[in-house]
Every structure is written in C-alpha cells, then in structure tokens.
Chain A
Amino acid sequence: MSRIEDREITKQLQEGSLEALGMLYDRHRNLVYRTALAITGDVDTASDLLQDVFLRLYRFAERIDSSRPLEPWLYRMTANLAYTWVNRNKRWLFSLDDLGEWLIGAGKDTPLEMVEFKDDWDQVQNAVTKLPFPQRVVIVLYYLNDLPLQEIADILEIPVGTVKSRLYYGRIALKKNLGIGLFGAGEIHPGFNYKGT
C-alpha cells in the first residue's frame, strides 16, 4: 500500500509538484533524519543532511525509477552525503582530538570522559561514531533500520559478502569500544534495560 502510494507521489514529483515533495518529506523524514543522526552523531548535521537529501530528491527526481521503492534511494543518498560530511570534517575532528589529549594528558577514561556518557545509549552512539565510515554505515543500516544484508548490499552497491565482513569487524570494534569483554560470557551490560525506560 505504502509502496504504491510512494510510486504515485514520486510520479507527481517528477512532474514538478512541490506538494508531492512535501508529502514524501513528511512520510520519510524520520527515516532520513535518524539514519543521518546515527551516522554523524550530530543533530545539526543531521538536520542539514535531511534538507539536502530532499533537495536532491527534488532536483534529481527525473532520474529516479518510480516503479521501485523509494527508501533504498533515500538511504543511499543519506549515506553518500554523510560520507562527504565525515570526510570534510575528518581533519578538523582529528586536530580537535589531538588538542583534547594535549589539554588533559595522554590518559584515557578521564573523569571528563566518564561524565560525558549519561547512559548506555550515549555510549553506544559514541562507539558507533568512532567506527571507520564503511563499517559505521553498515552497522547503522543493520541495527537502526533493521535492513536485511541483501538490501544493505543493494543500497551501498557492494557484494553481500562485503556487508557481512563490515558487520563482523564492526561488531568486534564496537565490543572493543564498549569494553564488552569486561563482562561475563552472555552478559552484555550489567543492569542494561532493553526497553529503555
């Protein structure tokens, strides 16, 4: 049902309907915003990427195959624009990291770092943003968006084996970043509340 409606709205968009763009924005904004937010870890950047993705949807509407679902296109564009943003900010972020280490000394797990993490959700998001970009995108699409491996492969235009590999090494890096190995076998995090209440 939703797919068919998207198809019809996309056709209207291709005819230049701004109202159609607004309808698609209302329908898919959460998908784009949350994906951008999880990849970048920055609310302002996610807002900018949200605007940019839908601006491009309007500008490149004629190139979109309206017979196919729109979500993969939105995921792909979000990932591509986030990649550009991460690359642009990499140098700046690294220099800030260096400055931070210089200011607080070389030690890790300082009191300042400890209070930055309010709860498990913050720790997980922080660990995700430390992943190399290719692993980060796969982790977000898999865990946040619940996409199957084949669909992730189609969106990123990479073999499904590469998706599995990035997911595998992403998991290892996440566990390392989160210190999961510190806990007993089968126990993820003492006192973690899955319902998030």
Chain B
Amino acid sequence: MNEDFDKFISVSLKNWTARHKIPPGGRLILLREIESPRPDKNSLSWKIWSFVKQYALEPENLQDLYDEWLWEPLPQSKSWYAHIAASWRLSH
C-alpha cells in the first residue's frame, strides 16, 4: 500500500510542478541584478522607478518602459512589484 501511495504522491508532485513553467527572462534579469545590485542607484529597478517618478507615469506604463530596457515581458515577481509599488507610494 505504501508503494501505491508513494507513487501517487511522487507522480502528482512532479506533474503539478511540471505544469508551471519558469517565467521568461530569468537569466537576463539575474545577470542585470548582479551587475547593478539594489539599492545601487544604477540598478535597473532604481532606474525604472526614477524614470516613473521623473515623468509622473502611471504604473501601467511600466510595461512600455520595461520593453524599452529589456525587450522582454515584465517579470512576474511579487518582490519586484512590491519594490516598485513601495517606491511609487513613497513618491506620491
């Protein structure tokens, strides 16, 4: 019975995790972060935030900005958005 249970759990976990793909651009984002780690003002996040603040852009315009910087979709990362959102709140 344990063998059936083990197989059930193992196959279910493998299939569930395989269903979720890694968001694109991870390697590029990683290397950019290392080249300009936060809170370095040369970091990508800081540059984007500065740009948003300078031109009083709406958060919706971040996609356009990001397209211009990386030519990739925005990272689907909670911490990244939290960082931008916190910066946004501080500036308003």
In contact, B4 and A144 (Cβ under 8 angstroms) = no
Stretch in B17-25, B42-50, B59-67, B84-92 touching the partner? B17-25
| Interchain Cβ contacts within 8 Å, total number | 105
A110 to B26 CA separation, bound complex (whole angstroms): 39
Tell me whether chain A's interface is mostly helix, strand or loop, or mixed.
helix
When distances are taken between beta carbons in the complex, the residues of chain A under 8 Å from B55 are none
Cβ 8 A contact of B26, one of A47, A122, A144, A196: A47
- Confirm or deny: A100 has a beta carbon within 8 angstroms of a beta carbon on chain B: no
In contact, B22 and A188 (Cβ under 8 angstroms) = no
In contact, B10 and A51 (Cβ under 8 angstroms) = no
- Chain B: minimal CB distance from A141 (Å): 11
Chain A interface, number of residues (Cβ within 8 angstroms): 47
In contact, A48 and B27 (Cβ under 8 angstroms) = no
When distances are taken between beta carbons in the complex, the residues of chain B under 8 Å from A82 are none
In contact, B16 and A125 (Cβ under 8 angstroms) = yes
Q: Which residues of B contact A (CB under 8 A)?
A: 1-2, 4-20, 22-23, 26-27, 29-31, 33-35, 37, 75-80
